[in-house]
Amino acid sequence: MTTIREARWLKPTPFDYTAPRTLAEAVALLGDPARDTKVVAGGQSLIPMLNMRLARPELLVDITRIEELAHLTVDASGALRIGAAVRQARAAADPAVRHGWPLLAAAISHIGHPQIRGRGTVCGSLAHHDPAAELPTAARALDARFVITGPGGSRIVPAEDFFVATFSTAVDDDELLAEVILPPPPAAQGWAFEELTRRHGDFATVGVAVLLERDSATGLVRTARVVFSGAGPVPVRLSAAEDALVGTGVDEAALAAARSAALAGLDPSDDVHASAAHRRETAAHLLVRACTTAWERC
């Protein structure tokens, strides 16, 4: 839905390049009002746009050599912190990620191919924000918090405020996404990530991330998260579907209610690959499948 069709060229416009060693340097460069700057990390989203001359920066600031952005750690609170220089393949292979945030690892495994994931960064994909992409959807489902650093220091933005519109986020021109923080997962949480793609590795026609937390006392759903990709200009969290699942045992009635909520609540658009109706119906179908899987994993 948000892929690029207007290509007329395939070599970038002229720009300058620098690879600062510290975050402070990077922020200082981004804050230069005289130059149109752009952050590059893995480049797997940006460089196609550079080649097609759709992005035309004057200065590229490469943040992959900044040590303080290279961390992938679980902090004292149990939260996962992923620095902006961390490549997707590294995150997906990390044992702590696979154990604590399997939804994230699964989402990454759906991104393109290993040739892309080996270069692309987690934060780069989030900051690029293609709403058909996997990571924004996963981050929204996982209640990610985004550490945005700029001239005035750092601020933390929650996922519901981070994604603004297609290719647009809360990160201002003089800022960069320095880190994403995923809160510690609840004890009994099941997850699923489902998508329909045209070809293996393509952006999703439509996709869904589901997290279900089982109440240990009742054995029923205590909390639910349902977020769709490819269903709007941002990852779409559908609380009506979540409400239909909470307090249930994810039985047929609950699934039917969730499905109805998706059919009623989603308003995707048409494009050359799929009609809006197809996206809506498929999203609802994938939701049922994902809920079933997530509940089995609880």
Which residues on adjacent β-strands are paired with residue 149? 154, 176
Question: Among 45, 35, 88, 42, which Cα is nearest to 65's?
Answer: 42
Choose, by CB under 8 A, the member of 24, 67, 73, 115 that binds other proteins.
115
Which of 97, 244, 245, 286: binder of other proteins (CB under 8 A)? 286
Residues 238-277 that bind other proteins (CB under 8 A): 272-275, 277
Minimum distance, C-beta of residue 44 to other proteins, in the bound complex (Å)? 6
Q: Stretches 93-101, 185-193, 199-207, 231-239: which one binds other proteins (CB under 8 A)?
A: 199-207
Tell me how far the alpha carbon of residue 257 is from its chain's centroid. 26
Closest approach of Cβ 20 to other proteins, in Å?
A: 13
Nearest-5° angle of CA 169, CA 87, CA 297? 85
Q: Does 215 bind other proteins (CB under 8 A)?
A: no
User: For other proteins, which is the closer residue by CB, 48 or 150?
Assistant: 48
Token pair recorded at residue 234: 């941002």
Nearest approach, Cβ of residue 218 and other proteins (Å): 29
CB of 159 to other proteins, least distance (A): 26
Q: How many helices (H) and strands (E) does the chain have?
A: 12, 14
Q: Is the Cβ of residue 137 or residue 189 nearer to other proteins in the bound state?
A: 137
Pairwise CA distance, residues 220 & 293, whole Å: 15
Residue (81 or 278) nearer to other proteins, CB: 278
- Within 136-175, the residues that bind other proteins by CB under 8 A are none
C-alpha radius of gyration, the chain, whole number = 19
119 binds other proteins, rule: CB under 8 A: yes
Q: Which of 26, 27, 44, 148 binds other proteins (CB under 8 A)?
A: 44
Q: How far is CA 217 from the centre of its chain?
A: 32
Packing angle between helix 102-109 and helix 134-141, nearest 10 degrees?
Answer: 170
Q: Which of 26, 50, 171, 290 lies at the binding interface for other proteins (CB under 8 A)?
A: 50
Which residues, in sequence order, are CB contacts of 64 under 8 Å at separation 6+?
Answer: 19, 41, 42, 85, 121
Residues 279, 85: Cα–Cα separation, whole Å: 34
Query: Residue 297: which residues within 8 A CB-CB, separation 6 or more?
Result: 190, 191, 192
Q: Least Å distance between CB 123 and other proteins?
A: 17
Site for other proteins in 78-97 (CB under 8 A): 89
Q: How far is the CB of 227 from other proteins (least distance, A)?
A: 19
- Minimum CB–partner distance for residue 269 and other proteins (Å): 12
**By C-beta, is 29 or 274 nearer to other proteins?**
274
- Minimum distance, C-beta of residue 96 to other proteins, in the bound complex (Å): 20
Decide if residue 220 touches other proteins (CB under 8 A): no
3-state helix, strand, coil in the chain (%, to 5): 35, 25, 40
Q: What sign does the dihedral 113-119-120-123 (CA atoms) show?
A: positive
The count of other CB atoms within 10 Å of the CB of residue 26 is 26
The residues of the shown chain that bind other proteins, judged by CB under 8 A, are 3-17, 19, 40, 43-44, 47-48, 50-53, 60, 62, 64, 89, 109, 112-116, 118-119, 196, 198-203, 205, 272-275, 277-278, 281-282, 285-286
